[in-house]
Amino acid sequence: MRPSGRAIDALRPVFIQPGFAHHAEGSALIRMGGTEVLCAATIETRVPSFLRGKGQGWVTAEYGMLPRATHNRGQREAAKGKQTGRTQEIQRLIARALRAVVDLKALGEISVTVDCDVLNADGGTRCAAITGAWVALRLALEKLVRNGTLPALPIKGQVAAISCGLTDDGPVLDLDYREDSTASADANFVLTADGGIVEIQGTAEKDPFTEAQFNTLMRLARTGTAELFRIQTAIVEEALKA
Amino acid sequence: MRPSGRAIDALRPVFIQPGFAHHAEGSALIRMGGTEVLCAATIETRVPSFLRGKGQGWVTAEYGMLPRATHNRGQREAAKGKQTGRTQEIQRLIARALRAVVDLKALGEISVTVDCDVLNADGGTRCAAITGAWVALRLALEKLVRNGTLPALPIKGQVAAISCGLTDDGPVLDLDYREDSTASADANFVLTADGGIVEIQGTAEKDPFTEAQFNTLMRLARTGTAELFRIQTAIVEEALKA
Amino acid sequence: MRPSGRAIDALRPVFIQPGFAHHAEGSALIRMGGTEVLCAATIETRVPSFLRGKGQGWVTAEYGMLPRATHNRGQREAAKGKQTGRTQEIQRLIARALRAVVDLKALGEISVTVDCDVLNADGGTRCAAITGAWVALRLALEKLVRNGTLPALPIKGQVAAISCGLTDDGPVLDLDYREDSTASADANFVLTADGGIVEIQGTAEKDPFTEAQFNTLMRLARTGTAELFRIQTAIVEEALKA
Amino acid sequence: MRPSGRAIDALRPVFIQPGFAHHAEGSALIRMGGTEVLCAATIETRVPSFLRGKGQGWVTAEYGMLPRATHNRGQREAAKGKQTGRTQEIQRLIARALRAVVDLKALGEISVTVDCDVLNADGGTRCAAITGAWVALRLALEKLVRNGTLPALPIKGQVAAISCGLTDDGPVLDLDYREDSTASADANFVLTADGGIVEIQGTAEKDPFTEAQFNTLMRLARTGTAELFRIQTAIVEEALKA
Amino acid sequence: MRPSGRAIDALRPVFIQPGFAHHAEGSALIRMGGTEVLCAATIETRVPSFLRGKGQGWVTAEYGMLPRATHNRGQREAAKGKQTGRTQEIQRLIARALRAVVDLKALGEISVTVDCDVLNADGGTRCAAITGAWVALRLALEKLVRNGTLPALPIKGQVAAISCGLTDDGPVLDLDYREDSTASADANFVLTADGGIVEIQGTAEKDPFTEAQFNTLMRLARTGTAELFRIQTAIVEEALKA
Amino acid sequence: MRPSGRAIDALRPVFIQPGFAHHAEGSALIRMGGTEVLCAATIETRVPSFLRGKGQGWVTAEYGMLPRATHNRGQREAAKGKQTGRTQEIQRLIARALRAVVDLKALGEISVTVDCDVLNADGGTRCAAITGAWVALRLALEKLVRNGTLPALPIKGQVAAISCGLTDDGPVLDLDYREDSTASADANFVLTADGGIVEIQGTAEKDPFTEAQFNTLMRLARTGTAELFRIQTAIVEEALKA
């Protein structure tokens, strides 16, 4: 029915490969269909100046897209000399999502930076980034527990994200690029495994939408993230065994 | 009950002064309590390059804050040499909100830029900017009808925005700075007068929130924007009589 | 006779509203005809690095113009990523004018930044900025005396500025935009209430001018600033009573 | 003998995966030991302005390194707002290397941009980039022949690159990071399969070196590139069959 | 009497060497004591976009200072990524001074850029730049007459500049760095050979100054520029003979 | 035979004027034919942060070209807001060349910055810069010995550089701009007086070259630098006598 043949409430095939970035304290390459994001978490024993001496840590994120991750080559942000508004919006979103599930007091004066770089793009890159970033963060923080820096994991919850949208096929889960570019509205949901809402961003791309439509999208998002939480958990368990 | 003594579902005093920017095709200075934003709409008979020759118009927005609009002076973005991620996020939001209620085909190859500059800040600047920008845009487009450039107003709806949040006093409408800086979650709602949703941005500042809480915030937003639509309409009617 | 009907030596209507910027230690919105500048003084208990430990203070200024303060919209400097040469020239001028009447030793290790933002422009913005900035500065420093930080006002004099020019109507006082854009020469005079000269900038826009012409412009400037000093004094007295 | 146990004249394991960047006209992920570079070639039917109307094409390259490709996280160039001198030096080198083996006249008014992004770094990234970029370029140009845009491959030769250096173990081939950071001199050789020299960059990191030492490094480079040419050829043949 | 032993109204030794920049259409290296500025005029047969099709030319200037032209090394503006406010102020001044004596209509759609680069600095660099720039410009325009591009020199006058200031020795002509850094006020005068005033910039560095003092400075400036006009004339005549 | 009439192995006339930059601790204006570079060495008693507390010094270099040093005016890098890749490549090369002959341990926590600014360009500017920079550096370090800051010159060798290339006249020494712009390959050699190689950069501009050709270029470079070492030595001796 959908251009990809997927059911209304079906995710694309999800694959997460931990450890892709050799030097990072934690990393994960996440693939959702044709979208591929490399998430690498860096631990540093210092905090931004506004937090110095406050006995708490910080989690931040940066986002980038390789110039040819897309159908047409985009200009390299480093060459252009600045990050687009879209890039900044996305990296602020990823960082907020991660901070919502980290106990910054328990982290102590440590900062974690998660770099999310899109190697291939086919829609949903910001959601894939959040889902992969949680895995990278989780693995990196585990190291701090294993080497005795922290007594326990400073993680309060498990976070994942998915996009839903109103297309010609009605409300659907996990839009690919083709669907995303023609949807009349789309929404990104950042949810936690215990049912909490971390962030909702719903946008009418063409015409305003109704509250009923919005609620349908939220139902779909619950379905999708439930599956993502299962995959994250399995990958982390496997990686920690290794 | 609330720090300001306002009821849970009460807006701050709203005041809109049309024509503040003498040279602009349409303008409005909007005050919501201690927040004051100057919105100025500029009409230009050209469109961005990606729209050239497509027979449609464009609406965009820019946002800024005077360095001492806030409690502590912020660095001037022009001096720093770049706009913050926050600034870019907000101006993209304002622009999307306005485009959702403009018939770009009917506008023809004309572009409208709405500058929203915060003169005084006390929370809710992005929402005040959207509400004021719609008035500035409406007045500017009216000129195009009056001078015969357009046969009819290319406006499909009326848009306004308001923030709601979860504070120690529970869910409240129209947060001021004091409330905003301590809220556990807040959400901005961009709604249309005929009940449509243009944009929803809900963010957990501390802990994830529940769907029930979110729905309460949306109820409050409906109440608040109903009042804003009445004020916008009155101001526009008055300004057009003058 | 002049396009505005004003006499050769007449200022435009001047209006100064203190306290416009709610959070600033001192502020003034100054209007000279169609020109409107918001001046906001910020006190900070630190000095630039080149003055650290020297037991003296500093006064600086920044200048900006809202994109649609002018007939045609100008590009936003923050978006462009840099301040124009004109902007930098003007803010350096404002700062020198203020420093000439402040006793920096008596100020101690405190810095004052005066932001001058043009909301509406109709010629003479840099002069209006200086005249308004002195009021904002005066009110801000008064606070330091009232709260006991300083034993006495560290102000040595009163400064105001006005432009004069050679137009088709001969030498005139306080040029508006229409006059300014066609004048063959113009000069900005920054003077003190006790007759001193702080800064003179005379520029031939078309043909060189004579010393006699220049002296006539200086006479006009004396007339104009005398009136400005009276207005500044009245406003400050009134504001301090409140 | 060497820290890695490799022989003096042994390359690290080399692996090239074509097609990694789904959207690119040609791409190759190249691994040389712990170094991993994604090379993606983009074809565009336009040329830089200095070549317009001259009936010839152009080949250029861009280089980047993910922030956590290295032992310690480096600042993201896009966030910093500029590319380092090192980055610019490398991308200019890659571009020259490719242009030396492309017949720009035969290419016609087409430009090829090869993006080389380092996903993991363990020394020798610029050489790996050149070797991988040739494969990406070769595959992209093949498409132009297959779809009839070009009558024949506009390629004059096959290019690969390798670093050699003077270490405590004497002159060695293909330095990894550990060797590179302590070598007293190193040299990068860009050679062609028919024995030509495209570029030589030899640098004394500590003390000047002798001509005899330099000649030994060139011998090693011949050995190493011979192996790289075999691998490139095998990969291209395989990819074209698929 | 003065630190340099010069009389109150004595210039430093002035030396102008035409043709220093081999490739420029006109150039002059000017030395005034320890200050040395290389002025190079470039002719281009195009005008800025705001003048296109208006049948007139343009004259502009750029100013720079080598990092070690000064007592202490200054940061290179190209490395810093922007020109200081001082640099921009000076290059705008030089350009206005030159335009005041060029007949832009007679120049036709030609632009002249005069680069003024300070090789050694000992005070008065902007005035030396103007004086030298006129020579470079004059020689460059002569070429356009000699090669038949223009029927006659599009020059309306001769311009030179000098600084004067109030020092411990009273009002003096042509301040060197030692005097400039301790003067209580200084003024730059840009004058024409036929007695006109092109630009006056008088600034109180410490205390406001009087009109009488200002008039004395203007007298000194007349003396100084009279000598500069003689030197410019002699150099130009000599250079044109060669 | 060559366009300039020079023999295959003849340098252009070389002239070095020490002390051109009055304020610099050491300086040299070097001319090689029509190429003229001002080299100024600055001594500062601090080191970059990555070396602090390590008891060693640092030598760095910056390179620039006046806008009209060339046939056609180039855009001023300070105005453009960034240094080109070419500029950065060259200044990194100069710095490496100097560091190769300085004993950084013996220098102590002192840094030397050598500014190399091209006043006139006719090919070979980077090589002239290195040769002149060594003289400026040598003279500056001598001062540290003479004033007792250092017990002995922290210089391990003498360095100079020259370009060679393959032209229509075969392999030639010291290319001027005309030769350089049409050469099929060129190489820059940075050599020491005792026969060591500091840096080799050989580049095929058109077609790959052979090892035999490369060896011929190195022979020519030896001839050229032998002459440069004699000139450097003579100039330094003479300057130190003065």
Is D90 at the interface with chain A, CB within 8 A? no
The ipTM of this complex is 0.95
Residue E92: pLDDT band with limits 50, 70, 90: very high
C148 backbone dihedrals φ, ψ, rounded to 5°: 85, 0
> How would you class A105 by CB atoms within 10 Å of its CB: exposed for 0-12, middle for 13-18, buried for 19 or more?
exposed
E28-82: pLDDT as tens digits: 999 999 999 999 999 999 999 999 999 999 999 999 999 999 999 999 999 999 9
What is the pLDDT, as a whole number, of residue D1? 77
Average pLDDT, chain D: 96
pLDDT of E214 > 80? The answer is yes
Examine the pLDDT at A221 and tell me if it is beyond 90.
Answer: yes
Whole-number Å distance between alpha carbons of B124 and E202: 46
Among A62, A83, A88, pick the best mutation site for testing chain B contact (most B Cβ within 10 A): A88
Question: What tens digit of pLDDT does each residue of E176-207 get?
Answer: 999 999 999 999 999 999 999 999 999 998 88
Residues 6+ apart with CB under 8 A from E219: none
Instruction: Assign A148 to helix, strand or coil.
Output: coil
- The H helix count followed by the E strand count for chain C is 6, 9
Confidence (pLDDT) at F209: 95
Give which of F197, F206, F217 to mutate to test D binding, by max D Cβ within 10 Å: F197
Q: What is the rounded radius of gyration, in angstroms, for the C-alpha atoms of chain F?
A: 18
pLDDT in tens, E122-138: 999 999 999 999 999 99
The predicted pLDDT at position D140 comes to: 98
pLDDT beyond 80 at C127: yes
Q: What is the pLDDT of residue F1?
A: 77
Put simply, whether D40 touches A (Cβ < 8 Å) is: yes
Residues of B in contact with A207 (CB under 8 A): 100, 196
What pLDDT shows up at residue F176? 97
The angle formed by the CA atoms of residues D133, D134 and D135, to the nearest 5 degrees, is 90
- Measured in whole angstroms, the distance separating CA D177 from the mean position of its chain's CA atoms is 17
User: CB B91 to CB A100 under 8 A?
Assistant: no
- The DSSP code sequence of chain F is --TT---TTPPPPEEEEET-STTSSEEEEEEETTEEEEEEEEEES---GGGTTSS--EEEEEEEE-GGGSSSPPPPHHHHTS--HHHHHHHHHHHHHHHTTB-HHHH-S-EEEEEEEEEE-SS-HHHHHHHHHHHHHHHHHHHHHHTTSSSS--B---EEEEEEEEETTEEEES--HHHHTT-SEEEEEEEETTS-EEEEEEEESSS-B-HHHHHHHHHHHHHHHHHHHHHHHHHHHHHHH-
pLDDT surpassing 90 at residue C123: yes
Strand D159-167 versus strand B35-44 pairing type: unpaired
Q: Please report, for residues A8, A176, B103, E218, the alpha-carbon distance to residue A180 in angstroms, rounded to integers and kept in the order given.
A: 14, 6, 21, 71
d(CA A186, CA A177): 12
pLDDT exceeds 80 at position C115: yes
pLDDT at D205: 82
CA gap A179, A120 in Å, rounded:
17
Mind telling me how many Å the CA of A78 is from chain D's nearest CA? 4
What torsion, rounded to 10 degrees, do the Cα atoms A99, A100, A104, A105 define?
A: 170
Q: What are phi and psi of F241, to 5 degrees?
A: -70, -35
CB of B197 within 8 Å of a chain A CB? The answer is: yes
> Which residues, given as ranges, of chain B have pLDDT below 70?
none
- State the first-to-last Cα distance of chain E, in angstroms, to the nearest integer: 41
The sign of the torsion formed by the CA atoms of E149, E153, E156, E160 equals: positive
pLDDT of residue E242: 83
Integer Cα distance of D4 and D10 in angstroms: 10
Q: Cα distance from C21 to chain B (closest Cα, Å)? A: 6
Tokens of E96: 């206005």
CA–CA distances in Å: residue D145 to residues A193, D3, D106, D107, D152: 52, 46, 12, 10, 6
**Tokens read off for B216:** 């309460």
| Min Cα separation C206/chain B (Å) | 27
Residue A227 confidence (pLDDT): 98
Q: Which parts of chain D sit beneath pLDDT 70?
A: none
Per-residue pLDDT 10s for chain F (242 aa) are 799 999 999 999 999 999 999 999 999 999 999 999 999 999 999 999 999 999 999 999 999 999 999 999 999 999 999 999 999 999 999 999 999 999 999 999 999 999 999 999 999 999 999 999 999 999 999 999 999 999 999 999 999 999 999 999 999 999 999 999 999 999 999 999 999 999 999 999 888 999 999 999 999 999 999 999 999 999 999 999 98
Burial of D40 (0-12, 13-18, 19+ CB in 10 A): buried
What's the pLDDT tens digit per position in B155-175? 999 999 999 999 999 999 999
Predicted confidence (pLDDT) per residue in A18-74, tens digit: 999 999 999 999 999 999 999 999 999 999 999 999 999 999 999 999 999 999 999
Decide if A206 contacts A185 (C-beta within 8 A): yes
| Domain over B14-241 is classified CATH 3.40.50.300 | no
Range B58-74 burial, b when 16+ CB lie within 10 A, else e = bbbbbbbbbbbbbeebe
Q: Is the pLDDT of residue E1 over 80?
A: no
**pLDDT at position B184, please?**
93
Distance (Å, whole) CA E203 – CA E89: 14
Q: Mutate which of B104, B105, B199 to test chain A, going by most A C-beta atoms within 10 A?
A: B199
Nearest to A197 among B92, B196, B209 (CB): B209
What is the distance between the alpha carbons of residues A198 and A238, in angstroms, rounded to a whole number?
27
Report percent pLDDT > 90 for chain A.
98
Q: Note the pLDDT of residue A150.
A: 97
Residues in chain B closer than 8 A to C122 (CB atoms): 22
- Closest residue in chain F to residue E29, using alpha carbons only: F119
Average pLDDT, chain A: 96
A64 and D76 within 8 Å at the Cβ level: the answer is yes
Do C199 and E203 meet the contact criterion of CB atoms below 8 Å apart? yes
Average pLDDT over every residue of A184-211: 94
- pLDDT-based confidence at residue A103 (cuts at 50, 70, 90): very high
pLDDT (average), residues E159-183: 96
Contact F121, F32 (CB under 8 A): no
Output the pTM of the full model.
0.93
Model confidence pLDDT, tens digit, residues A140-163: 999 999 999 999 999 999 999 999
Residues on chain D touching F203 (C-beta within 8 angstroms): 96, 198-199
